[in-house]
Amino acid sequence: NAGVTQTPKFRVLKTGQSMTLLCAQDMNHEYMYWYRQDPGMGLRLIHYSVGEGTTAKGEVPDGYNVSRLKKQNFLLGLESAAPSQTSVYFCASSYAGTQNTEAFFGQGTRLTVV
């Protein structure tokens, strides 16, 4: 059981380049999230999705776009990367509903924009 898988694990981009981070989960979770983690700033929510075909903005959505075309996948796109987007990105997923909504996290993607 793979859980939550993020690809790639590491990436270096030049300013202005674009890229897509892929998150895949095999637990049939409705909710999926993208976070960034920076020293001294903690975990900040970028975008999230409450189900296939839906997305919503989080705390720091500017400069990012997302898509949830399939329930198991949540893509995070950077159209024109900036050095301020250098960070570690985490994807997570969880069930919805009136049950314990434990979030399962991927191992992270370390992105450097030069």
Partner 1 sequence: GEDVEQSLFLSVREGDSSVINCTYTDSSSTYLYWYKQEPGAGLQLLTYIFSNMDMKQDQRLTVLLNKKDKHLSLRIADTQTGDSAIYFCAETDHHRDDKIIFGKGTRLHILP
**Footprint of partner 1 (CB under 8 A):** 4, 31, 33, 35, 40-45, 48, 50, 90, 92, 94, 96-98, 100-103, 105-108
DSSP 8-class letter at 77: E
CB of 58 to partner 1, least distance (A): 9
Count of Cβ atoms closer than 10 Å to residue 56 Cβ: 11
Half-sphere exposure of residue 42: CA atoms within 13 angstroms, side-chain side? 3
Smaller CB separation from partner 1, 2 or 14: 2
Question: Please, what is the minimum distance in Å from the beta carbon of residue 32 to partner 1?
Answer: 11
Q: Nearest Cα to 36, choosing from 68, 82, 73, 69?
A: 82
Q: How far is the CB of 96 from partner 1 (least distance, A)?
A: 5
To 5 degrees, how large is the angle CA 30–CA 31–CA 32?
125
Q: Which of 85/94 has CB closer to partner 1?
A: 94
* Closer residue to partner 1 (CB): 5 or 17: 5
Q: Could you tell me the two tokens for 11?
A: 């990436």
